[in-house]
Amino acid sequence: MQLSERDGLELWRKAVTASVRSDAPDLTARQQAVLMTIALTPGPHTVRGLAEHLGIAKPAVTRALDALERLDFIRRLPDDTDLRSIFVERTPEGMGYLRAFARLVLAAASGEETGSGKPSRRNSAVA
């Protein structure tokens, strides 16, 4: 599928609009990027590794992780080999949010009405 810039933006607009109409939390772009990186790239994930991967400062990653952890979208686990470090992993709640958002993107791409498949904190599907 070849999309123009405008088509790409329109697709994104439709998916985001459907998401903000839902009862799902409003994640910032940074929070979405951090969550998708944790969910879609091989781990283990650390604050340092996420910051390097995303090209942003470690404090920015930490703030995003704080917000995602409050939503139960990620969890932090101690690194038994280095007490200064922590690992970050996705949760079923976080994956449910991403799966629902993916359905919104796919619905927008196919021209479907995006009123269903809303991201919800209640989705608990697990990968």
Whether 69 maps to a domain, the answer reads yes
Determine, yes or no, domain membership for 121: no
Does a structural domain hold residue 127? no
The predicted-structure confidence for 87-118, as pLDDT tens digits, reads as follows: 999 999 999 999 999 999 999 888 876 554 44
- Asked whether residue 115 is domain-assigned, the answer is no
State residue 111's pLDDT score.
83
| Inside any domain, residue 40 | yes
**Per-residue pLDDT for 124 more than 60?**
no
Tell me the C-alpha distance between 117 and 103, whole Å: 6
Domains held by the chain: number: 1
- Whether residue 116 lies inside any domain: the answer is no
- CATH number of the domain within which 27 lies: 1.10.10.10
Tens of pLDDT, residue by residue over 20-78, are: 998 889 999 999 999 999 999 999 999 999 999 999 999 999 999 999 999 999 999 99
**pLDDT value, residue 115:** 52
* Cis peptide preceding 44, ω within 30 of 0: yes
Q: Which domain holds residue 17?
A: 5-109
